[in-house]
Each structure stands twice: as C-alpha cells, then as structure tokens.
Chains A and B, each alone.
Chain A
Amino acid sequence: MNGAISPTILGRLEWLSLPFVRAWQNPTPDELIGAGAATIVVVGMAGTIALITALGKWRYLWRDWFTSVDHKKIGIMYVVLAFVMMSRAVVEGVLMRMQQATAINAPGIVEPDHFAQLFSTHGSIMIFFMAMPFLTGMINYVMPLQIGSRDVAFPLLNSISLWLTGGAAGLMMVSLVIGQFSTGGWSGYPPYTELEFSPDVGPDYWIWAVTLGSIGSTLSGLNFAVTIYKMRCAGMTMMRMPLFCWTTLCTSILMIFAMPPLTVATAMLALDRYLGFHFFTNDLGGNMMNYANLFWLFGHPEVYILILPAFGVYSEVVSTFSSKELYGYRSMVIATMSIAVMSFTVWLHHFFTMGQSASINAAFGIATMAIGVPTGVKIYDWIWTMFMGQVRFTVPMLYSLAFMMTFVLGGLTGIILAFPPLDYLVHNTLFLVAHFHNMLIPGLLYGMLAGYHYWFPKAFGFRLNEKWGQLAFGCWVVGFYLAFMPLYVLGAAGMARRTAEIFEPAFRPWLYVAGIGALILLAALVALFVQLWVSIREREANRVDAGDPWDGRGLEWSIAGPPPEYNFAVLPTVSGGDPFYTSKRNGDAYLPPERYENIEVPKNSVVGPLLGVFSAATGFALVWHMWWLAILGMLAIIITVIARSFIRDTHRIVSATEVERVDLAWRDKLFASRSISREMETTSANQGFAEVAA
C-alpha cells in the first residue's frame, strides 16, 4: 500500500493519499474526522449531481448560468460559491474551537498536523474563497446597475474570472479528498513551506489555489475599474455615483496593484519548490524576509479590498433605511480614496517583530494609526446620516448598527497592535486572532450579509424572511462576542495562536465560552440557510415585482426585480446624486421611454467554464507532479484562448419589440401594485412600489 501507484501517470499519488484508506488502516478519531470530511465532499458532490440529473436541469444550468456572461448571473454564482465555501470554513472554525476547548492537558479530538491543516484551510478559504467571491459577486450584481450600464466592460473576462475562482475553490475542495492541505497557515510563510520542511502536497495545493484565485481577482479588479471609468450613463459624473461604486472603484484599484505581489510571492515559492530556486530557503542566499514583504505588500491592501465594499454597502443601507441623503458624501469619497492609498504604506506592521530597526517600526506604526482617521470619518458620517432620519430597523440596518459598534472596538485593539512595543507583547497570540476577526466579521461578513438582504429582492423579485433574518443576525452578533472576546483575554494572557494543545488550566473557562460562541456562529449559518429555504417557499407572498421595496435611492431600484438581462430598456440619464429617489419626489420616475431600440447583448460562451476546468486540472496536475496532464492543461488553455479569438459571432440582438413587450409587462405589474408607506415595508403589502410623500 506504500509508494506511488503509477509515477508516470499519477505522479506522486499514493493509496495513502486518500483519507478513506488512511482511516481504514488507522481508525483513530482524527483519521475518521478526515475521512468524514472527505465523505461529505464526495457525497455532497454526488448528491448535487444526482439531484440536478433527476430534475433534468443540466441543460438549464449550462445554458442559463454556467456559460452566461451576464454580470447579474455571474454575481449570483459568485455569492453561491461564497456561501458554499463559507459553510466549510465555519465548520472548520468550530472544529478548531472544539479542539482547543477539549485539548487542555489532553490530546483533544484532532492530531496537531490535522489542526494545522484546519487553521490553514479556514484562513485561506475565508479570505480567498468566501470573502473575495462574496464581494466580487456583490459588486458584479450591483455596480453596473447603479451606474446605469448594461453590463461590465468585459463580460467574457468576467466569466473567466468567475471560473478561475471556481476552479481554485475546486482545488481547495479536492484537497480534502485527495492528499492533504498545507499546514503553513493562510499566509504560507517559508522556509516552513519550502520542500525541506513540507515535502508533502499541502503547500502545493495552497500555492495553486491561491494563484488561480489571485489571477481571477486581478482580472475582476481590472474589469470593474474600466466599467466605472468608461461605462457610466449620461449625467452620471464620478461625484454623483452611489458610494458603493466609489468603494468598488477603490477596491478594484487595490486589486489591480495588490494582487500581483501575491502572484509573485506564490510563483517564487513554486519556483523554490519545483525547480530548486533559492528565493526563500534558509541556505544558498535565500531570504525569507522577501516573502514576508511581498506577501504583506499584498496582504495589507487585501484587508481594504475586503472592507471597502462593505463600507459601500453600509453607506447605501444606512442612507436608504434612514430615508436621508448620505451625510458627508464628499468626505466619504475622500476617506475611501485615502484608505486606498494609505493601505500601501502600512504592510510592515504585520511583522514588527521580525528584525527591522525601531525607527522603521515607528514609521509604519504611525502610518497604521493614521489609517484609522479616514475610517473614523466614515463612522461619524454614518451616525450623522441616521441622525434625525426615519430609521427603520430592518435586517440590513441591524447588521449596519452591529458593525458600527463592533468595528470600532476592533479598531481600538488595532491601535494597540499598531504600537510596536505593545505588539511585541501580544504578537502571535490569540489577541491578534481576536483582533482580525473583530475587523473582518463586522467589516466584511456583516456588510456582505447586509447587502445580501438588501439587494436580494432586486435579484430574485421577493424579500427574504424577516424573522429568520433577525434570528440569524442575533446569532452572528452574540456568537461573535462570545467566540472572540475571550480570545482577547487569552491573548493578553499569552496564549499563542495556532496552538493544538493547551497546558494552562486557567485558560479553560475562556476556551469554553469561545467554544459556545463558535457553536452559536454555526447556528447563525444554519439560520441563514433556513431563512433562504423559508423565503423561497413563501416567495409568492413576498413578491416585489415593481422592484423598489425599500424606497431606494440609486438607479438599480428604478427597474424590475429581477431586471431583464440588458438591465435598462433605455439607458437612463441622471442629473444629480440619488437619482431615483429624487425623481420619485419630482414625480418623473417610471416615465415610459419615447421609443424602444434594439439592444446588443453578448452571447453566452463556453470559454469561462473551459478555462476554469483546464486551469484547475493544471493546478491539480502540478500538485501531484502529473507532468503530462500539466502540459496538456496549459496547451488546452492556450488553444481555448486562441480559438476564441477566431469566433466573430459574439453578440446577438434583442429586438426593440421584445424589449418593449418586457418593459410594458413590468409596467403593468408596477401600476397594479399598491404603493406602501415605510412602516409596511417588511410586510406582505410591500410589492416594491414606494409611497412618496409629496
């Protein structure tokens, strides 16, 4: 059973690479958990395939979704991917909390090596395959609608980005079933991840999954930036854009400039591991510090790539649910831009303790504290937006409020960490773990969930269930505080992060509380899924066909929910900020267009799915040293791209009569809807037609 099965064909794949075989030979709880996870992946995959086959939906999925280049469908697929990956990573997080709660002077439930894989996959997935797809999907869906565009600038490239990300996420899932994942953490620091210390396939899975994901994100950033610069509708000047578009623009710019350092870092690590280069090795002139600098040159802007879109969502949500113009729009724009620029000046605070002089640390410490200023400006702006407004405590608003309070707390601990002498005390402890969860859960997850609740009626034409939404919200908030506040205490008391076994019994109560918190977070996730289920079942009662359930402000609310594939029957012209809100007040919203014209839309393309599959296959082949497959995969990628360049028939026309028919059908529903006041917006009376006080 030992040794490679067939080195020429299957590379270094062994029978023991399969967790089922390992569990059969050595049925410890640890191996059984591994095999169980693999079983869930296999059964889940098989079950999904069987279900789709049984329902006869393959054709539909392929034609209407997988090959679609429509930004709205791509956005939805991104968010679905984010939810799937989030489910796995949340379970891993819970498992880690359970391990630490049970491993106090005891071995706990998983082996140290397995524990290391858990924190590596948890981090990698949450950043690259939950957060990134979630925000990319949100931007994809919303931004073109907000600027009054029919699509993004490069629809096919958009599909390619999606499928590269999907392929990369696929690699992450495959690593559960075949082989093992890296034990080097989400940041994959060499020399530990070099061949000398990690000769297994784990770091290779990490390298190729992250590389594919980062290329996908670079291309997404490029696409969004060009869309915002070039595709705004008439009258939509930069300073009239909804704030979400501004944060999207800044995030895109960060993606364009900050993802390449990651690609360079992983590529160099790959050269070290595959071709014996010496970038980061301990010997022969290698220098690990280069990796630390490259990685965090990406890693810190990445934090703002994640947080800025959520800031955009909060700006939209707070303004809409306070029925007030966003306070200090201009200061918000300046703050967003400042954050984007300053995010490139602080990366060194991720390794204050790694040997540079005190003066360098001081400079980066000051820069880090300074970046809190524009963020503070934003918090005040949101508070002033609510002041004297008609605040409604809908689910998105609840997330926004929880964010404001929790995020400020995390910001304060950030200031502590930004101070080098204090960082020396708490670095590499659970204090840090508590800090970044305290930033990213409110600063990313709550924002994305707020956006999910806020724009869901736009995307699917019905509202999400409010009760289950509130329950999920409560669990996320309570779970967060219980799970992570104890970690501050533990970190300050000196408990190192990533510890598989604990020898200090005094930590026990705190670890128990954190464990309970983790379980509540799991319940929050379950509540989200139940909410989706319940909402789909009750969809007929909660339809908002008219498309404007919240008395929205931006152009996205001025069209049907869900919008037609070309978004706007006639491209809008705007003459100020909050264009739809204003025109409702002026009584010139919903004016029928004078005439309808043919609309050119891009045709579906198989290129995206093909490139995703080929690049994932190439990555898999490189992980296992199946050189023939790697070469084949790369050739297939090149051939696909070239073949596509010969296809001339890439667009089709939606006829003016068809556009007119769809538009009139929507207008019929619109005028049949009853307009409702804001008190009734979370009831079934809400058909998406807002009552406007004259």
Chain B
Amino acid sequence: MSAAEAKHAGINLGDSDRETHEKAGSEIFGFWIFLMSDAVIFALLFATYGVMLRGTAGGPSAADEYRILPAFIETLILLTSSFTFGMASVAMKHGRGLRTVLAWMVITLALGLGFLAMELRDFSTMIADGALPSRNGNLSSFFALVPLHGLHVAAGCLWLAVMLVQVPCFGLDKRVKINLLRLGLFWHFLDIVWIAIFSVVYLQGLIR
C-alpha cells in the first residue's frame, strides 16, 4: 500500500504530507458519515416541504413570497465560496504558505457572511409581507428547511473564524490540516444542499 493511495474521498494529503495522511483516514471517514447523517435530516425536510406544498390554509405559500433574483445571487455567492475554499485546500495541500491559505479562507468567510446577510434580508422581507412560519404549514416547512441550511452556513462561518485563528496560532500542523479538510467537506456539502434547495424550493416555485 503506497502512502499516496487515497485513504478517503476528497482531497488527500498523501503526496505532500504522509504523516497527516496516515492519520486522516478514519478522521475524514468519520466526518463523511456525519455528513451522511446530516443529509438524512435535510432529505426529510425536503420531503416535508414536498408534502406540505399545498398546506397553505388560504394564506400565501412560500413560492408566492420569495424573490428568485436574490436567491439566484445567493447561489452564485455560495458556489463561488466553494471554489475559494477549494483554493484554500489546494494551497494547504501543496504548502503554498500560510498567507495564501489564510487569504483564500478570508475570502470564503466574506462570501459566507455575504450569503447569510442576503438570506436574512430575504427572510425579513417575507416576514414583513406577513409570510410568517406560523401562518401555515407550507411556510412552516419552508422556514424549517431553508434557515436550517443558513444555520449550517453560520456554523461553517464560525468554524472558519476559529480556523483563521488556529492557522496562525499553530501553523499547518496535523490537527489544523485535518480540520481544514473536514471544514472543506462541510462547506462543499452545504453547497450541494443549497443547489437542492434552489432547484426543489426556488425553481420549482417558478414552474407552477
């Protein structure tokens, strides 16, 4: 078994850092499993949204209320942030120096925060228009699914902020590297969930 052999799905460190690579196998695999478990939660919320589409009780549905343009811009922001995080991971893997890694992480964090700010503005517009989650089941399921993704992004941003402290503190040591790999998976996972949200929730609302 060569050291460079892939030990887990995603970016492996075998080419550049064998010692961390040896340890990363079970750590990253464990995180994949966590993500799968988390994916079940989202899947169930999608299903709930699907079955509650008609539960409007004479009130507005989420599809009547959200605006597609900001959602589209949010999609672009989040996809871009996944790219920038990818750049941070690549820089970390190939030892491009702390500053490069940090720079890409800061950009990612900024994009993440931008996404959250826009999303919060969307929600407040909806709420100001009277589309509260307590209005009907349709809105309840919308406000469980989409903000849960937002909450994940917020957790990701907090995690990024912590890593922004840890990278200068400890340098790119074993634990920092493994943590960045995990954060990367988390961040890309949120992207995938958002793509599902954009398609199933937002675009579906357009075709009715």
- List the interface of chain A (C-beta within 8 A of B): 153-154, 218, 222-223, 225-226, 229-231, 256-257, 259-261, 263-264, 267-268, 271-272, 275-279, 281, 283-287, 290, 294, 297, 638, 642, 645-646, 648
Max chain B Cβ within 10 angstroms of own Cβ: one of A261, A276, A283, A284: A284
B179 at the interface (CB under 8 A from A): yes
* Contact of A286 with B30 in the complex, beta carbons under 8 Å: no
B206 at the interface (CB under 8 A from A): no
Q: Which of B97-105, B112-120, B132-140 contacts A (4 or more CB under 8 A)?
A: B132-140
* Contact of B44 with A225 in the complex, beta carbons under 8 Å: no
Closest 4 CB pairs of A and B: A285-B55, A285-B137, A276-B134, A230-B26
Residues on B with C-beta less than 8 A from A638 are: 158
**Interface size range on B against A:** 35 or more
Rounded to whole angstroms, the CA-CA distance of A222 and B28 in the bound complex is 12
Rounded to whole angstroms, the CA-CA distance of A563 and B144 in the bound complex is 48
B82 at the interface (CB under 8 A from A): no
* Contact of A290 with B52 in the complex, beta carbons under 8 Å: yes
* Contact of B41 with A285 in the complex, beta carbons under 8 Å: no
Given A230-B25, A268-B144, A271-B140, A277 and B175 contact (CB-CB distance below 8 Å): no
* Distance of A311 from chain B, by nearest CB (Å): 23
Rounded to whole angstroms, the CA-CA distance of A268 and B133 in the bound complex is 12
* Contact of B26 with A285 in the complex, beta carbons under 8 Å: no
B9 at the interface (CB under 8 A from A): no
* Contact of B40 with A260 in the complex, beta carbons under 8 Å: yes
B18-57 CB mask vs A (1 if < 8 Å, else 0) is: 0000000110011001101110110011001001101111
25 cross-chain CB contacts under 8 A: A154-B30, A218-B37, A226-B26, A226-B29, A226-B33, A229-B29, A256-B33, A257-B37, A261-B40, A264-B48, A268-B144, A272-B140, A278-B57, A278-B135, A278-B137, A279-B137, A283-B57, A284-B137, A285-B54, A285-B136, A286-B140, A287-B51, A294-B48, A297-B44, A645-B166
- Taking a contact as CB atoms closer than 8 A, the residue among A230, A268, A645 that contacts B29 in the complex is A230
Rounded to whole angstroms, the CA-CA distance of A632 and B13 in the bound complex is 39
Given A256-B33, A260-B44, A275 and B52 contact (CB-CB distance below 8 Å): no
Residues on A with C-beta less than 8 A from B30 are: 153-154, 222-223, 226
* Contact of B55 with A287 in the complex, beta carbons under 8 Å: yes
Residues on B with C-beta less than 8 A from A297 are: 44
Rounded to whole angstroms, the CA-CA distance of A275 and B30 in the bound complex is 34
* Contact of B44 with A294 in the complex, beta carbons under 8 Å: yes
Residues on B with C-beta less than 8 A from A229 are: 26, 29
Max chain A Cβ within 10 angstroms of own Cβ: one of B37, B38, B158: B37
Rounded to whole angstroms, the CA-CA distance of A231 and B144 in the bound complex is 38
- Taking a contact as CB atoms closer than 8 A, the residue among A260, A271, A285 that contacts B138 in the complex is A285
B162 at the interface (CB under 8 A from A): yes
* Distance of A611 from chain B, by nearest CB (Å): 16
Residues on A with C-beta less than 8 A from B136 are: 278, 284-285
* Contact of A275 with B137 in the complex, beta carbons under 8 Å: no
Rounded to whole angstroms, the CA-CA distance of A280 and B125 in the bound complex is 26
Residues on A with C-beta less than 8 A from B59 are: 284
* Contact of A256 with B44 in the complex, beta carbons under 8 Å: no
8 new A-B contacts at CB < 8 Å, known A223-B30, A264-B44: A256-B36, A279-B140, A285-B52, A285-B56, A286-B140, A287-B51, A287-B55, A297-B44
Rounded to whole angstroms, the CA-CA distance of A225 and B34 in the bound complex is 11
* Contact of A263 with B41 in the complex, beta carbons under 8 Å: yes
Residues on B with C-beta less than 8 A from A279 are: 48, 52, 137, 140-141, 144
* Contact of A276 with B48 in the complex, beta carbons under 8 Å: no
- Taking a contact as CB atoms closer than 8 A, the residue among A259, A267, A275, A642 that contacts B134 in the complex is A275
Rounded to whole angstroms, the CA-CA distance of A230 and B8 in the bound complex is 11
Given A284-B136, A648-B170, A277 and B143 contact (CB-CB distance below 8 Å): yes
Rounded to whole angstroms, the CA-CA distance of A154 and B179 in the bound complex is 14
* Distance of B84 from chain A, by nearest CB (Å): 22
B147-180 CB mask vs A (1 if < 8 Å, else 0) is: 0000000000010001000100110010100010
Residue on A nearest B141 in the bound complex, by CB:
A279
Rounded to whole angstroms, the CA-CA distance of A223 and B37 in the bound complex is 12
Residues on B with C-beta less than 8 A from A222 are: 30, 33-34, 37
Residue on B nearest A641 in the bound complex, by CB:
B162
Rounded to whole angstroms, the CA-CA distance of A285 and B143 in the bound complex is 14
* Distance of B28 from chain A, by nearest CB (Å): 10
Residues on B with C-beta less than 8 A from A226 are: 26, 29-30, 33
* Distance of B65 from chain A, by nearest CB (Å): 15
